[in-house]
Amino acid sequence: MNISMELLRNFSSVGAGASREFSYPFTRKTKQRQLSFVYLSRTSYSFKSCSATLSLTAEVEEKPKLDVDKAALLARELRKTFNSGRTTNYEWRMSQLKSIEKMLEEKENDITEALYKDLSKPGLEAFVAEISQVKSSCKLALKELSRWMIPEKVKTSLTTYPSSAEIVSEPLGVVLVISTWNFPFLLSLDPVIGAISAGNAVVLKPSEISPATSLLLSNLVEEYLDQSAIRVVEGSVDETTALLEQKWDKILYTGSARVGRIVMAAAAKHLTPVILELGGKCPSVVDSNINLQVAVRRIIYGKWACNNGQACIGVDYIITTKDFAPKLIDALRYELEQFFGKDPMESKDMSRIVSSSHFARLASLMDDDLVSDKIVLGGQRDVNQLKIAPTILLDVPEDAQIMQEEIFGPLMPILTVEKLEDSFKIIQSKPKPLAAYLFTDDEQLKKNFVQNISSGGMLINDTILHVATDGLPFGGVGESGMGSYHGKFSFDAFSHKKAVLYRSFNADASIRYPPYTTQKQRLLKAVINGDIVSLILALIGR
C-alpha cells in the first residue's frame, strides 16, 4: 500500500508525463492480447490504489485548500477574462473545442486508466459510455457551432410594423460545473463543452470520490485549455462550499437531490439559474409479448453493464406481470451468465462499487429484514474488492428501504402486478424518475405509457441509448432535476436568448401615444387583434 501511495504521489506531482510512463507496461501487455492476465494484474493493482485512495484524500487535505477568498479570487479572474470578450470570440471557442478533441485523441489511455483506478471500469465501457460520448459532443459542437451562433430571425407582427427581430445567443458569463463520480469524465467534460461552445468562462469541480479522474482532469485541462478562462478546482465539501459562495451566471450540478437542494439554495442568494441533473428510481416495465432474449440483454446492458448500476439513468427496478416473472428471471439468469460468466465476481467486464461507504449502503439494503429472503439470484459480495454480484430480488415489499431510495448499484428488485397497467400506479406513486423504460410490442400500451408516465426521458424497448442521441435533451423533471443539456441543448443551456428588435423611425402611428382618446383605443385594439374590418371602421371614424 505504501508503494502505491508513492506511485500516486508521483503521479500527482509529475502529472501527465509520469502517468503515461506509469501506464505503459499495461498497455504493452494488452497488445499481446493476454487479456485475462492483464486484467488480473490490473485488478490487484487497482485494488491497491483503491485503499490508497483514502490516504490520497488525506493528502489533498494537506495541500493549500481553496477557501472562500481564493474562490472569490478565482471567480474574479475568470470574470475579468470574460469581460475582456476573449471567450465570446468564435475563434477562441473553436480553438478550445479543438484542444479538447486533441486531448481525447492523445490521452485516451490515461483516461481509461484513471477510470479503471476509480471504478475498475472495463476499458470498453469507458470507451463506449464516456470517451466516445465526449468525443461526439465535441465533434458536433465543432461542426455546428457557427450555425448555432447565427442569430435566429423571427417574424414580427402588424403591431410592431415595420420592424425586424432576431434572437441572439449570448454567453451567460462565468459558469460553474459540479460533476459526479459515476461517469466522472463524461459528466465533467460534456457540460464544459456546452459552456465553452456558448462562449462562457467555466470552473469545473470534479468529484473527490473518483480522485484519479479528478486529478487527471485537472492536469489535462491545465495542459490543453486556456487557463485564463477554464479551470478545474479539485476538492470536496469545503471547496464546493467555497465555490458556491461566489456569484456564477449558471450552475450545472450532477448528483443527488439532497446536494441539489444545497446548490439551488446557494444559487438563490445570487439569483443564479441552475441546471440540476439528479437521479431517481428509473423503472423498467416488461410486457410478456416481447422478444425476451433481446429485451433481457438490453436490460442487463442498462443495469450491470452500465457502471454496475451506478448510473443515474440505469434501470433501478423492474415491473412485470406475476405470470411472466419466472420466465423473465430465467432469461436474466441465462444471459447474465453469458455476459459475465459462471462467477460474476471474477468478471472483468463489470465495474466495482465506487467506495466502501457506498458498498456498506448497498449491503444494508440487501440485509434489510424485509428483503433478505427475496433474493433469487446473486447476493455474493466481497468487501475487500468492493464487488457485488448481479443480484435479483423478487416481490420486495413497497416499504422496504430498497424501494424507497435510488439503489445505484447492482441490486435489481422485480415487482409483480396482476395487469401490466397497474405498473403505472406504482411509478406514479414515486418521485418522477430521470428515465422510464418500457418493453412491449403493444402499441396502445406504448401510447399510454408516454402519455401517463412523467419522467426526464423515455425509451421504449431499450435502455440507456436515448442519452447518446444528440438531438434529444437530457434532463430531469421534478425530483430528477431541472433544465437539460446535450448537443444543441447544451449550447442553449449556457446561452442567454436575447431578444433584439429593430425598428425604423418611419411609419410612426400616433395612436400609440397619449392623450388616449376613445378612437385611439378602438384603433389600437383593432391593430392588436389584427382585425382588419374594425381597423378600417375605426379609421373612418365609425
Partner 1 sequence: METLRDFERDLEEMREYYSHGKTKEASWRKTQLKGLLTLLKEKEGDILNALKQDLGKHQIGILIKTLNLALDSLRGWMSGRKAKLPQIALLTSAEIVPEPLGLVLIISSWNFHFGLSLEPMIVALAAGKTVVLKPSELAPASASLLATATSTYLDNKAVKIIQGGPSVGEQLIQQRWDKIFFTVGSAHVGRIVMSAAVKHLTPVTLELGGKCPAVLDSLSSSWDIKVAVKRIVHGKFGCCAGQACRAIDYILVEKKFTRTMMELMKSMIKEMFGENPKESPSIARIINKQHLLRLKNLLKDPHVDASTVFGGSVDKDNLFIEPTILVDHPLQAEIMTDEIFGPLLPIITPEKIEDSIQFINSKPKALAIYCFTKNKTLQRRMISETSSGSVTFNDTIIQYAADTLPFGGIGGSGFGRYRGKFSFDTFSHEKAVTRRSFLTEFWFRFPPWNNHKFQLLAFTFNYDYLGLVLVILGLKSYRQGLNDI
- In the complex with partner 1, the residue whose CB is nearer, 237 or 500, is 500
- In the complex with partner 1, the residue whose CB is nearer, 221 or 493, is 493
What residues numbered 272-311 form the site for partner 1, per CB under 8 A? 273, 276, 278, 290-291, 294-295, 297, 300-301, 305
What residues numbered 406-435 form the site for partner 1, per CB under 8 A? 428
The yes or no reply on residue 122 touching partner 1 (CB under 8 A) is yes
CB 108 → partner 1: shortest distance, Å? 5
The yes or no reply on residue 40 touching partner 1 (CB under 8 A) is no
What residues numbered 493-532 form the site for partner 1, per CB under 8 A? 496-505, 508, 512-516, 521, 524-525, 528-530
Q: Answer whether 43's CB lies under 8 Å from 91's CB.
A: no
- Indicate which residues carry an active-site annotation: 277, 312
CB 436 → partner 1: shortest distance, Å? 9
Q: What is the CA angle 321-396-372, rounded to 5? A: 140
* C-alpha cell belonging to residue 153: 430571425
Q: Are strands 387-388 and 474-475 parallel, antiparallel or unpaired?
A: unpaired
DSSP E strands, 118-215:
152-154, 163-171, 174-178, 201-205
CB 498 → partner 1: shortest distance, Å? 6
- Taking CA atoms, 159 is separated from 164, 338, 517, 527, 531, in Å, by 12, 67, 19, 6, 11
Q: Answer whether 137's CB lies under 8 Å from 60's CB.
A: no
Query: What secondary structure does DSSP assign to 492-512, as a single string?
Result: HHTEEEEEEEEE-SSS--GGG
CB 469 → partner 1: shortest distance, Å? 6
Stretch of residues binding partner 1 (CB under 8 A), selected from 108-116, 206-214, 227-235, 315-323: 108-116
CB 508 → partner 1: shortest distance, Å? 5
- In the complex with partner 1, the residue whose CB is nearer, 102 or 525, is 525
Question: In terms of Cα–Cα distance, which of 18, 50, 327 is closest to 211?
Answer: 50
What residues numbered 196-255 form the site for partner 1, per CB under 8 A? 249
DSSP code of residue 439: E
* C-alpha cell belonging to residue 391: 443480484
CB 361 → partner 1: shortest distance, Å? 22
What residues numbered 43-102 form the site for partner 1, per CB under 8 A? 83, 85, 88
* C-alpha cell belonging to residue 121: 471500469
CA 211 to chain CA centroid, nearest Å? 18
CA-CA distance, 198 to 172, in Å (whole number)?
Answer: 8
- In the complex with partner 1, the residue whose CB is nearer, 98 or 512, is 512
- Taking CA atoms, 499 is separated from 164, 249, 407, 506, 516, in Å, by 11, 18, 44, 21, 29
- In the complex with partner 1, the residue whose CB is nearer, 50 or 300, is 300
- In the complex with partner 1, the residue whose CB is nearer, 298 or 374, is 298
Interface mask (CB under 8 A) for partner 1, residues 453-492, using x and -?
-xxxxxxxxx--xx--x-xxxxx-xxx-xxxx--------
What residues numbered 434-453 form the site for partner 1, per CB under 8 A? 441, 446, 450-452
What residues numbered 305-344 form the site for partner 1, per CB under 8 A? 305, 338-341
Interface mask (CB under 8 A) for partner 1, residues 158-197, using x and -?
-xx--x-x-xx-x-xx------------------------
Number of residues that bind partner 1 (CB under 8 A): 115
- Rounded (10°) CA dihedral 109, 111, 117, 122: -70
CB 122 → partner 1: shortest distance, Å? 6
Residue 120 Ramachandran class (φ > 0 left, ψ -120 to 50 alpha, else beta)? left
- Candidates 65, 76, 261, 322: give the one binding partner 1 (CB under 8 A): 261
